[in-house]
Amino acid sequence: MKIVEYSPYIWRIPKEGEMLVDGIVFASKEMIEDIKNDHSLQQVANVATLPGIQKAAFGMPDIHWGYGFPIGGVAAMELKTGVISPGGVGYDINCGVRLLKTQFSLSEIENKLEELVTLLFKNIPTGIGKKKSDIKISTKSLNKLLKEGMKWTLDEGFAREEDLEYIEDNGTIEGADPNTVSQRAKERGVFQLGSLGSGNHFLEIQVVNEIYRKKEAQTLGIDKGQIVIMIHCGSRGLGHQVCSDYVKIMVKAMNKYGIKVPDKQLCCSPINSVEGQSYLKAMAAAANFAFVNRQVITYKVRKVFASVLGFHHKKIPIHTVYDVCHNIAKIETFKIDNKTKKLLVHRKGATRAFPPQNPFVPSKYRSIGQPVLIPGDMGRYSFILVGTQKAYQYTFGSTCHGAGRVLSRRKAKQQAKGRDLLKEMKDKGVIVKAAGMATVAEEMPIAYKDAEEVVNIVENVGISMKVAKLKPVAVIKG
């Protein structure tokens, strides 16, 4: 497989063999050498063989090996001839990021930081499904939640009206059908609402460290020195089970529809098939669960901050900036060869980055474009970006989603042996609370690319623009 430098920060995998389109990867010269060390470039080429794929199979600079599709992969399919692949969404359906802004500065809460992070860790369950959430819901209520998404949280008192406006798709993916979600998936999800999960999921108290674009920052209500809170999690065991269930279904469906793929992890079925439509309905339900999960965590954050800082939780000045998906497939409209087409866009470890004036951007933000939230590792920085017209024209309105791993979890643990990681983080000015030291070892900063390098590349390519840099001061992890 060849990969050639097409232009600065853009690499091309030329169409060959069974590939229907080229592969395009965004990376620096230094980064591409690291990317070559795993199987993600081959995965980009594999994705390029899928029926109905349009323009190119894309890899973002945070690309790394994943299930079927690379993490950091984008592919858009024509609706009539194209396929839907669970591997193009991932096991954690609608894993995403929410950013909350406060009216507090670091100096105003610094002496309360330890208390805040301790209470957050106590009130928000973390880890692999061991600790049940204190939010109890019935099966009937769960089905309603899966169908309605964020609308359910308003009825239940977990959300403010304003929250829905600043969530991708207003927090409800249309077309969700709880009947397409297995009983096992529901059993796994019903006790996990309002929980972070494990691995790279986190809640961070951050301080706005740098502003790159004043107009955009002011529009978002972001200012230097301000305390913000970032939540990174997804659909928990429910979403994982939905993916597992439909991978099995799609493997059989490929034989039924005569589809051949170079890697069985790319199992798929036609978008308009019974299996394809059923998966899309179940995926939407799991995505709605993830939106609600982040909202319930938001509710808990407000209650903790209110109790520590002396506010009523309904009046605590903590507001949603935005909430983005980065594991999802959506039907969206784009121009291909001057023809307007509806396409199914798979974004796995990639974030939607719609431009200014796009009707899917909240009206308050329409002059600047869609906010893009890029979490980094717990020892360095995260970023706020905005989408661009070039992204809409070139990458189906998509950009990167995070830092991207460079060390496997096993290698990270090996390198962490004998080190006092909590002290190292404290020396960096970051308080860490975690379910276990294994997670801290797996998530140590050197396990990840530098998020600043990643966002600089997408800005240089022109598919999103930096607005602000956020520095962690306290972190809870699964």
Structure confidence by residue, pLDDT tens digits, 426-443:
888 889 888 777 777 777
Q: How much is the pTM?
A: 0.95
CA 122/CA 300 separation, integer angstroms: 11
Take residue 72 and report the two structure tokens written for it.
Answer: 């950091």
User: What is the predicted pLDDT for the residue at 423?
Assistant: 80
- CATH architecture, domain defined by 4-477: Alpha-Beta Complex (3.90)
**Residue corresponding to tokens 């107009």:** 215
CA 87/CA 268 separation, integer angstroms: 8
Average pLDDT (319-343) is 95
Determine what percent of the chain is predicted with pLDDT higher than 90: 81
Take residue 339 and report the two structure tokens written for it.
Answer: 């023809």
Burial of 340 (0-12, 13-18, 19+ CB in 10 A): exposed
The Cβ-side half-sphere exposure at 31, using a 13 Å CA radius, reads 29
pLDDT, tens digit, 9 for 90 and up, residues 109-154: 999 999 999 999 999 988 765 456 788 899 999 999 999 999 999 9
Query: Cα 309 to chain center, whole Å?
Result: 30
CB count within 10 Å of CB 36 equals 13
Q: Which of 160-174, 210-224, 353-367, 446-460 has the lowest mean pLDDT?
A: 446-460
pLDDT, tens digit, 9 for 90 and up, residues 446-475: 777 789 999 999 999 999 999 999 999 999
CA 29/CA 32 separation, integer angstroms: 5
Residues with a catalytic annotation lie at 401
CA 159/CA 151 separation, integer angstroms: 9
Average pLDDT (44-52) is 98
Q: Which of 40-44, 255-259, 373-377 has the lowest mean pLDDT?
A: 373-377
Task: Please provide the average confidence, as pLDDT, over all residues in the chain.
Answer: 93
